[in-house]
Amino acid sequence: MINHINKKTIGILAITLSILVWLTDRLTHTVSALLGKIIYGNRYMQTIDGAIDDTSCVFNIDMYLAYSLSTILILGIALYISSHKRDSVKEF
């Protein structure tokens, strides 16, 4: 019973967290900017031809964030589905 509750709770938490972080990043762009500054330091957002934006970086941190959040969402869904009990099939 404890294993069943933990899988379901962790699944719901993973689904909720990934959706909230994704929405926050899409609406404010703060999550990917913060990750870019943490991971790449001074190389993040350097000017190239006077332009400062995501294309001025050699990388696109949004892509890595979306991939990670998609993976967490899929794992959360898998945990949530696997936490449900299945009725055994009765043979007549």
**Bridge partners, 51 (sequence order):** 48
pLDDT for 17-72, tens place per residue? Answer: 999 999 999 898 888 888 888 887 776 666 666 666 555 555 678 888 899 999 99
Q: Is 64 exposed, middle or buried (0-12, 13-18, 19+ CB in 10 A)?
A: middle
Instruction: State residue 19's pLDDT score.
Output: 96
What percent of the chain is helix, strand and coil (3-state, nearest 5)? 70, 0, 25
pTM for the structure as a whole: 0.71
pLDDT band at 16 (very low <50, low <70, confident <90, very high): very high
DSSP 13-29: HHHHHHHHHHHHHHHH-
